[in-house]
Amino acid sequence: MKALNELRLGSASNHADTWRSIIEAHTLDQRNTSGLITELHCHTRASDGTLTPSELVELAANRNIRVLSITDHDTVAAHDEASEACQRYRIQFIRGIEVSSLADQGEVHVLGYGVKPTDSRTIERILALRDARDGRAKAMVAKLHALGIPVSYDRIKTLAGDAMVGRPHVAKALLEGGWVAARQEAFDHYLAEGKPAFVPHQGLTPAEAIELIHTAHGIAVVAHPALFAGDPDRLLASLLPHGLDGVEVYYPMHTSEQVAHYAAFAKTHGLIATGGSDFHGFVGDLETTLGSIHLPGGSIEAIEVRIEQAQSATSA
């Protein structure tokens, strides 16, 4: 699968073109909205975004977003600060997470909405995920060393700061050390799937990711299915018996045909349809995307009902 990081790090003109076509593809959806501006998929510095939780909420307020969910990769570290900031701006905050998992044909991201961070067992498992991801970075460093590139793991950790160590930080260290001339080169030559220093995500299967989200009293939604390297329909169908709650239908990189397809899939199988921009902060040309994905009227209400059902079912 083409990771978003790699897409984001692509050439500037590609970004602009991609983004223009995305915006055009979504004008139809915008006409169908109830007028409520929402953002259900975005990242802060707690994972690989560039803004702090407070900065992101401030930006959301500036863009008149009324419902916000922060969905950092494998961590809920931004929730408390973001929730407080949302109260100040009277923005409805939905506690979210984007859990990385691995199916046979590639990575699958599973979004969790309405998760309760007070569930300590859940937090422990989330932290275990985080450790697995650190292990992944260490394995990448070992592979780079074997290739004759003595990049320092400690330096990568420093570059990551409070965020989880991931491929973007390894790429940054490679650029900093002069082993590559551009961040994209780090992915193209070493870190992308199929390249010599690529290490797959360890840890959960998609079904286990759904289970983890349900344990945390949230609802589980497969993120950006069209980006899955295998057959997305088969993947989604295989997750129905595991209690999959929804599909991320509205997404910048989904074509209008894909949007229609996944909306129909969700309807047929009684799943909720969600959507969001996958905003990561001020990264090149993609900086204006927070709140840019408009959901059809009634979407947020359907998501809220599903979260309420999940929470009353698990606490009964």
Interface positions with Zn ion (CB under 5 A): 98, 109, 223, 278
Which DSSP helix (H) or strand (E) runs through 17?
helix 12-25
- Closer CB to Zn ion, 141 or 244, in the complex: 244
| Angle at which helices 53-62 and 79-89 cross, to 10° | 30
- Closer CB to Zn ion, 159 or 253, in the complex: 253
- Closer CB to Zn ion, 151 or 303, in the complex: 303
Least separation in angstroms between CB 245 and Zn ion: 17
- Closer CB to Zn ion, 71 or 144, in the complex: 71
Least separation in angstroms between CB 41 and Zn ion: 6
160 three-class SS: helix
What are 299's strand-pairing partners?
none
Closest listed residue to residue 123, CA positions, set 218, 212, 45, 41? 212
Which DSSP helix (H) or strand (E) runs through 287?
none
Closest listed residue to residue 217, CA positions, set 79, 122, 98, 86? 122
- Closer CB to Zn ion, 114 or 225, in the complex: 225
Least separation in angstroms between CB 2 and Zn ion: 11
Annotate 294-310 with three-state secondary structure. Answer: CCECCHHHHHHHHHHHH
Least separation in angstroms between CB 147 and Zn ion: 28
Instruction: Tell me the residue number closest to Zn ion, measured at CB.
Output: 109
- Closer CB to Zn ion, 153 or 206, in the complex: 206
Token digits for 281?
Answer: 């902060």
Instruction: Provide the sign of the torsion angle of the four alpha carbons 78, 103, 124, 215, taken in this order.
Output: positive
- Amino acid (1-letter code) at residue 316: A
| CA diameter of the chain | 57
- Closer CB to Zn ion, 201 or 242, in the complex: 201
Least separation in angstroms between CB 121 and Zn ion: 25
CB atoms within 10 A of CB 186: 27
Least separation in angstroms between CB 179 and Zn ion: 27
Instruction: Tell me the Cα Rg of the chain.
Output: 19
Residue-wise burial string across 3-16, b where 16 or more C-beta atoms lie within 10 A, e elsewhere: bbbbbbbbeeeebe
- Closer CB to Zn ion, 29 or 48, in the complex: 48
Least separation in angstroms between CB 309 and Zn ion: 25
- Closer CB to Zn ion, 48 or 285, in the complex: 48
Least separation in angstroms between CB 278 and Zn ion: 4
Least separation in angstroms between CB 181 and Zn ion: 27
CA 20 – CA 23 distance, rounded (Å)? 5
- Amino acid (1-letter code) at residue 147: L
For residue 99, the 8-state DSSP code is E
Q: Tell me how long the chain is.
A: 316
